[in-house]
Structure 1
Amino acid sequence: MTAFLEWNMGILTVLAEHRTAILDWFFAAFTWLGSEYVVIVTVCLLFLCIDKRLGYRMAFVFFLSSALVQGLKVLCRIDRPWVLAERDYPQYKDRYSPLELLGSKSGATGYSFPSGHTQSSLALYGTLALQSKKIWVKAGLFLVAFLVAFSRLYLGVHTPFDVVVSLFITGGVLLLVESLFGRLYDNPKADCYVAGLVFLLSLAALILGWLLFAKGIAEKKDAADCVKMAACGVGFAIGYVVERRYIRFDPKVGTVGEKVLRLLCGVGGVFALKEGLKALGKLVFLPDSMGMMAVDVLRYMLMLLFALCVVPALTVKIQRSKKTEKKSTGCEEQ
């Protein structure tokens, strides 16, 4: 394994020696396309305004692959390349360094293997690519996912091993969901089973990350990503069943203005919960405490429940109120 990791470090060194200012900005911009901010906005846009079915398909790919990738991160606990260079491979220390541009290094939190950005980008753009009927659109979307993955190497925040394994895991989940989603989604009786799979995998990753932190095996900064993403998966699984069984929201209903307002409320509410609860938590708990980890679990679960249940439920209620008003107005005119 040592020789294999050294080979990986050699590749990062070659890439670092061939950086240019233009490519630096190019790949820093592409790596942002795999960030959690893009994930949140994209899923909210699809689910709340365009195509709920596609939004759910993308979410299943994302949360299933995320549970596997994040679980592997805390199980394997392989450090970031710059930590490896400093500690284990001093021959690369002066020739390689991660690039800090648009938060590329500071945003590379947690353990290195496998790559989370690679997983999220293939889950998003791969899902969109498989749903497109145009070859050039498919190729373009897969190219975006590939460039996000390669950007992690160019910026020096992941090794080729991290990226390739993440591509295989997410690609496998993508193909699995693609082959089964249609039949399962159209069968209401299967809701609890498919949601249960996401719930159990996410819960397992959450418990694993939590226990490793509680026992002092992993620091909070290294276990936090696993716990947060797993909490999102748990929230998604619960929200999926609630929305499908009791809310039955239709994103295609409403004017363009109403859809824009719906999106702003959804995204705004999600980010308000994300940052607001974090700020409140810091007033009560120390940053690296178990209490703050519990706040992370709560806020990421609530983010998903807000987007999947609260906004759709309010939308359905408003739509029903409008129909009632129209009926009463029609009766009065008669």
Structure 2
Amino acid sequence: MNFLKVLESIRTPLLDQLFLLLTFFGEEVLVLAIICFLYWCYNKRLAYRICFTFFTSGLLVQTLKITFRVPRPWIKDPSFQAVEKAVTTATGYSFPSGHTQCATSLYSTLAWNTKKNLSRIICFTIIFSVMLSRMYLGVHTPIDVLVSFSLTLVISLVTNYLITRFELLVKNYKITAILLSVVSIAVAIYSLILLHRNVIDAKYASDCCKAAGAGIGFSLGWYIESVYIRFNEHTTYPSRQVIKFLIGIGIALLLKVGLKAIIGSSIPANMIRYFILVLWITVVYPYLIKRYESKLLAS
């Protein structure tokens, strides 16, 4: 807390805005948008590498959150104040940091898959900027961001090593999909047990079940696309890539918001909503892309 109070003492309106901008690089919505662009339009294999790190580390972070149940800094120390605009995005428990997990899973994977040292430096600079922003804004302690960074970095390294060196994940489609699904289901069950025992509130169990629904959706979607669909992200009409991305991401946002309005925001509904959202990204839209491209080539 002492370090956070030092950062609190140097806050200014300009620095507040700067760090609110930097923290956006770790927002789930931005990370998913970048994954979607890579997956639909640029490099499907790279997107899969990011997804394996993103979803597995997300499940781990959510599990640790409800296991240790560390309160946010302003709850831990009532004399401390976080930047007000950052509090609205600081859902769930404090330890470990979800924004750091999102940023590390994306940018570290990008760093491992480039040969340019400058690009790697930029990627890790973004990660460290997100980590610092979470502390400056007062929503996480150093231990929150450091543990999240370390765990996600290890998962990122292992995932990329296994794919690059042995292709273990991409050769064992069914086994990998089943394992990730089992882990996702186990996390959901664990959170519901804690909820039933009144150890955690419903909102915390809901966050875990969202991650579980997304994990199941990715494992199933990855398997179906890799084995049966195998769409080509490099369209024969490059000028249409932007349109393709905007349509896909637009429908994804509609699903995220629209399904909540239709089926509600209960724990099962949230789990189903994220499952459907990820299936749209990984299976349904790629299938439509492949069908559309086939018709264009035939015409």
With normalisation by structure 2, the TM-score equals 0.95
Q: Residue 83 of structure 2 is aligned with which of 99, 112, 134?
A: 99
Equivalence map 1:143-222=2 (5 Å): 143-183=125-165, 185=167, 189-222=171-204
In the TM superposition, what is the alpha-carbon distance from 1:77 to its structure 2 partner? 1.1
1:305 matched to 2:289? The reply is no
1:183 and 1:229 map into 2 onto residues whose CA distance is: 28
RMSD over aligned CA atoms reads 1.6
- Detail structure 1 runs of 4+ shifted over 6 Å in the superposition: none
Q: Partner residue of 1:116?
A: 98
| Alpha carbons 1:110, 1:223 under 8 Å: kept | no
Which protein shows a greater Rg?
A: 1
2:229 and 2:142 map into 1 onto residues whose CA distance is: 44
In the TM superposition, what is the alpha-carbon distance from 1:187 to its structure 2 partner? 7.5
Query: What's the CA shift string for 1:167-196, capped at 9, x where partnerless?
Result: 110011011012111355487541122223
In structure 2, the gaps of 5 or more residues are none
In the TM superposition, what is the alpha-carbon distance from 1:280 to its structure 2 partner? 1.8
Q: Partner residue of 1:61?
A: 53
Summarize the Cα distance change of 1:237–1:99 in structure 2 as closer, same or farther, 3 Å threshold. Answer: same
In the TM superposition, what is the alpha-carbon distance from 1:250 to its structure 2 partner? 0.9
Q: Residue 138 of structure 1 is aligned with which of 92, 98, 120?
A: 120
Summarize the Cα distance change of 1:58–1:185 in structure 2 as closer, same or farther, 3 Å threshold. Answer: same
Which piece of structure 1 moves more, 316-325 or 225-234? 316-325
| Alpha carbons 1:40, 1:267 under 8 Å: kept | no
The AA in structure 2 aligned to 1:227 is C
Q: Secondary structure at the match of 2:172?
A: helix
The count of aligned residue pairs is 299
Q: Partner residue of 2:270?
A: 296
| Alpha carbons 1:34, 1:117 under 8 Å: kept | yes
| Alpha carbons 2:221, 2:282 under 8 Å: kept | yes
Q: Partner residue of 2:74?
A: 82
1:15 matched to 2:7? The reply is yes
1:117 and 1:98 map into 2 onto residues whose CA distance is: 16
In the TM superposition, what is the alpha-carbon distance from 1:264 to its structure 2 partner? 1.6
Summarize the Cα distance change of 1:187–1:57 in structure 2 as closer, same or farther, 3 Å threshold. Answer: closer
Query: What's the CA shift string for 1:198-250, capped at 9, x where partnerless?
Result: 22222222222233223332112222222212211110000000000110011
1:136 and 1:188 map into 2 onto residues whose CA distance is: 29
| Alpha carbons 2:205, 2:267 under 8 Å: kept | no
Q: Secondary structure at the match of 1:169?
A: helix
In the TM superposition, what is the alpha-carbon distance from 1:49 to its structure 2 partner? 0.2
1:166 and 1:17 map into 2 onto residues whose CA distance is: 25
The AA in structure 2 aligned to 1:153 is M
| Alpha carbons 2:162, 2:168 under 8 Å: kept | no
Q: Residue 292 of structure 2 is aligned with which of 300, 318, 321?
A: 318
Equivalence map 1:37-52=2 (5 Å): 37-52=29-44
Q: Partner residue of 1:3?
A: none
| Alpha carbons 2:111, 2:119 under 8 Å: kept | yes
Q: Secondary structure at the match of 1:33?
A: helix
Summarize the Cα distance change of 1:111–1:246 in structure 2 as closer, same or farther, 3 Å threshold. Answer: same
2:179 and 2:11 map into 1 onto residues whose CA distance is: 43
2:172 and 2:88 map into 1 onto residues whose CA distance is: 41
1:176 and 1:130 map into 2 onto residues whose CA distance is: 11
1:31 matched to 2:5? The reply is no
The AA in structure 1 aligned to 2:100 is T
Summarize the Cα distance change of 1:310–1:16 in structure 2 as closer, same or farther, 3 Å threshold. Answer: same
Q: Secondary structure at the match of 2:87?
A: coil
1:268 matched to 2:254? The reply is no
Equivalence map 1:241-256=2 (5 Å): 241-256=223-238
| Alpha carbons 2:7, 2:136 under 8 Å: kept | yes
Q: Partner residue of 1:4?
A: none
Q: What percentage of residue pairs aligned between the two structures are identical? A: 37
Summarize the Cα distance change of 1:188–1:171 in structure 2 as closer, same or farther, 3 Å threshold. Answer: closer
Which piece of structure 1 moves more, 303-312 or 128-137? 128-137
Summarize the Cα distance change of 1:187–1:218 in structure 2 as closer, same or farther, 3 Å threshold. Answer: closer
1:110 and 1:23 map into 2 onto residues whose CA distance is: 25
